[in-house]
Amino acid sequence: MNKITLRFVFCLLTLMASATSYADEGMWMIGNLSPRTWVLLKEMGLELTPQELYDPDGPSLNNAIVMFGGFCSGVVVSPDGLVFTNHHCGFDAIQDHSTTSHDYLTNGFFAKRQKDELPNPDLYVAFHLRTIDVTDRVLSSTDAYTESDVRSAAIMNTCREIEMEVLDTINCIYGRVTPYYRGSKYYMSVYQRFDDVRLVCAPPQSLGKFGGDTDNWMWPRQTCDFCVLRIYAAPDGRPAPYSKDNVPYHPKSYAHISAAGYKPGSYCMTLGYPGDTDRYLSSYGIDNTMRTLNDIRYSVRSVKLAILDEAMRASDATRIMYASKYASSSNYWKFSLGQNKALRDLNVIGEKRELEAEIAEWAETSGKTQYAGILDTLENLYAQNFVADYTLHLLEESFYSGSDILHFALTQMLRAVNAEEEEEDATATHKAIEKAYRDIDVDVDKAVFAAMIKNYRKQAVCNDCWPDFMTKIDSAYGGDVDKYTDQLYSRSRMADKQSMLKVTNMAELFDDDMFDVAISVIIKLFECYSENDIDEYERRLGDALRQMNHDKEYYPDANFTLRLSFGTVGGYTPNADTHYTHYTLPQSLIDKYEQNPGNYDYMLLPSVYKWLKRGKFGSRYTDAATGQMPLCFLTNNDITGGNSGSGMFDGRGRLIGLAFDGNWEAMSGDLKYDNRLQRCIGVDIRYVLSVIETYTGAKRLINELTIEY
């Protein structure tokens, strides 16, 4: 396409996007879709009935979706409880089973027989059973505008009371009441949880994490971001902790897979657990997020990640040890950079200010005095709170998420503060220490610890922002951070792995010097944490918006409850010179590898390279339009972190892909959805199936699936 045509397409697409702006934005509650939304869903191509989608009393697609590990999503794809999720969601589990001699990160993993599937003591999945509106009960326990701390305490008590009523420990059924619209509504989601989830298959990193940090949050993409696990239950079908006597779980329903593909404009919906969005946040809140959370996260993590990166490159054992920690830290490190950039590029604050001016005018002209002055109040509250909020984030990033040894001390201390007086279980203590210390290299940790202090000094914005232990470095060590760190790490028992493994009671550590550091960090954290009315005023602002536009439907912000997002398959035009088509093909992966020698993120295992060059991906996985196997694809589904591993379904409710990322141009998406630019990046299910069948040779898994062509 030449430049002029591209420019024309760009303008046209922009116009079209504003005309259809209702269709793709929104993370809707699956059981709460309005008649109006159903009409739209049908028009767009959904062929399921409401009961086939969600039926609390019978099998429905809802039953095939799992919350994965409390941080991701997954789809059940076989009558024997096989689960598909993202490689990056199973990454921690894959790392846990890896050693330098069995490096499943690098080489991938496949359990040849069912009995070789690997248990993961810390992993669980939960099925959503139903969602109940409990707003009246929760809000009647408090008066809408009493002091915020009193209000929160009353609400919390009622929520816990409601949750207790559905708790069924024998069947692992539990409820979670969560606020929606910042607490204007409350719903309880009821779940059934399974704690025996085993690793079945994972591709090598050079497929499952192809592109690494270089490509993370970006399109075009070639990552085969999947892994396979299996849910096990007691022989009677009930959830049970790991036991060798457990058997594969037979779910109420499982997703069928379509290898028939899609076209631009084809209906697509995601079902999963989006974690956190703040779409109704005020312009002042956005500004605050940029200057505190994002700026700090990016700058502090830059320091920490550089140290980890160097250590990981130098040793295979360290690379494996820190793989998962590195990936999760770098994921939101890059996110913070991208979110601030997109917020600026897309003038999100400017657009918000216009909307806020409209709300203020509406409040005034329609005599809604309860909403008068909200924006001025918010502006003042954020300004007054800035230094404390900034320091809070700086403390968290530098010391809570900095050195792992200090992190362990902090979490143990907070646990001790919250724990009831009860006998400590020596085995549990030993397990907690073993788990935390397995992935700590004391020298690396020490380097991070010292670097965090030096960086904190540079970034702190007030004289009294230093935790006490830092002030002592000045008074007792002449400001020499390295000398202080050396002495601390040689004195502290917590910095001695072997000695730590002998601890049977955390109280043995209470007089350790690392605990002193932890105490001074906690004291500072508490000092910065001030009760204020920001949330309450943000809530009122959201209420005002919904009242002003009362004929419009507003979906609630993501809060890690099950949501549906509907949209269509399609590429995008980020600027007048670039148009991205909606899919990628194998040659683009080979090109990235061949054209970027030495880029670690584009490295390929020789066996993967051979497989790609051979090009025998299985004719069943070929797309009719291109005659090739597709790799990744784009839709305009509205997703966010937590949605990773969400099923992407066609109009008949068949699985066509797994959502795994968002795109760079619209990283502001958690605060404002952009119709023109925001895309969901998915791995095509045919790519997944081909890797399972033709690369891994895991035919026994393919045989369990129901694949429609």
Q: Does 327 bind ligand ARG (CB under 6 A)?
A: yes
Minimum CB distance to ligand ARG, residue 661 (Å): 4
Q: Name the nearest CA neighbour of 273 among 83, 59, 87, 65.
A: 65
Instruction: For the segment 29-88, give every residue that binds ligand ARG (CB under 6 A).
Output: 88
Residue (179 or 211) nearer to ligand ARG, CB: 211
Q: Which C-beta is closer to ligand ARG: that of 336 or that of 485?
A: 336
CB of 216 to ligand ARG, least distance (A): 4
Task: In whole angstroms, give the CA distance from residue 393 to residue 297.
Answer: 8
CA end-to-end span of the chain? 33
Determine the residue type at 659.
A
Least Å distance, CB 634 to ligand ARG, is: 15
Query: Two tokens at 110?
Result: 């496949």
In the bound complex, what is the minimum distance in angstroms from residue 680's beta carbon to ligand ARG?
10
Q: Which of 196, 213, 225, 441 is catalytic?
A: 225
Distances in Å between the alpha carbon of 56 and those of 187, 190, 270?
Answer: 15, 10, 19
Which of 73, 246 has the CB closer to ligand ARG?
A: 73
Tally of CB atoms within 10 A around 611: 20
Q: Do residues 521 and 400 lie in contact, with contact meaning Cβ atoms separated by under 8 Å?
A: yes
- Point out which residues pair with 268 in neighbouring strands: 567
Tokens 């028992």 sit at which residue? 493
Q: CB 443 → ligand ARG: shortest distance, Å?
A: 25
Least Cβ distance, residue 640 to ligand ARG (angstroms): 8
What is the footprint of ligand ARG within residues 512-551 (CB under 6 A)? none
Catalytic residue among 60, 258, 401, 644: 644
Residue number, 212 or 618, with CB nearest to ligand ARG:
212
Specify the residue, 217 or 593, whose C-beta has the smaller distance to ligand ARG. Answer: 217
Our CB check for ligand ARG shows the closer of 88 and 128 to be 88
x/- site string to ligand ARG, residues 375 to 394, per CB under 6 A?
A: --------------------
Three-state secondary structure readout of 9-57: HHHHHHHHHHHCCCCCCCCEECCCCCHHHHHHHHHHCCCCCHHHHCCCC
Segments of 497-622 assigned E as strands = 563-568, 572-575, 578-580
What is the pairing mode between strands 707-708 and 257-258? parallel
Tokens of 8: 């024309």
> How many whole angstroms separate alpha carbon 61 and alpha carbon 142?
37
By three-state DSSP, how is residue 230 classified? strand
Q: Give me the least distance between CB of 659 and ligand ARG, in Å please.
A: 8
Q: Shortest gap between Cβ of 362 and ligand ARG (angstroms)?
A: 37
**Among residues 54 and 687, whose Cβ is nearest to ligand ARG?**
687
171, 192 contact by CB (below 8 A): yes
- Tell me how many residues contact ligand ARG (CB under 6 A): 12
655 within 8 A of 610, measured Cβ to Cβ: no
| Binding residues among 104-143 for ligand ARG as defined by CB under 6 A | none
Rule CB under 6 A: choose which of 644, 646, 690, 694 binds ligand ARG: 644
Evaluated on CA atoms 631, 634, 640, 645, the torsion sign reads negative
- Rank residues 86 and 158 by Cβ distance to ligand ARG and give the closer one: 86
Distance CA(456)–CA(473), nearest Å, equals 13
Smallest separation, CB 261 to ligand ARG (Å) = 24
Rounded CA separation 63/54 (Å): 8
Binding residues among 204-233 for ligand ARG as defined by CB under 6 A: 209, 212-213, 216-217
User: How buried is 62 (Cβ within 10 angstroms: 0-12 exposed, 13-18 middle, 19+ buried)?
Assistant: buried
Determine contact, residues 668/63, Cβ cutoff 8 Å.
no
Identity of residue 507: A
**b/e map 448-470, b = 16+ CB within 10 Å:** bbbbbbebbeebbeeeebbbebb
Taking CB under 6 A as the criterion, the residue among 106, 184, 299, 331 binding ligand ARG is 331
641 near ligand ARG (CB under 6 A): yes
Three-class DSSP category at 424: coil
Query: Cβ of residue 331: shortest distance to ligand ARG, in angstroms?
Result: 5
Contacts (Cβ under 8 Å, ≥6 apart) of 355: 545
| C-alpha–C-alpha distance, residues 288 and 388, integer Å | 12
Which residues make beta-bridge pairs with 257? 655, 707
CB of 660 to ligand ARG, least distance (A): 6
Residue number with CB closer to ligand ARG (209 or 563) = 209
Cα separation, 437 vs 501, in Å, equals: 8
- Name residues contacting ligand ARG, limited to 170-209 (CB under 6 A): 209
Q: Which is nearer to ligand ARG, 124 or 210 (CB)?
A: 210
Note whether 295 binds ligand ARG by CB under 6 A.
no
- The nearer residue to ligand ARG, 529 or 600, going by C-beta atoms, is 600
Q: Which of 87, 88, 393, 582 is catalytic?
A: 88
Q: Indicate if 644 belongs to the active site.
A: yes
Which residues contribute to the site for ligand ARG (CB under 6 A)?
A: 88, 209, 212-213, 216-217, 327, 331, 641, 644, 660-661
Active site residues: 88, 225, 644
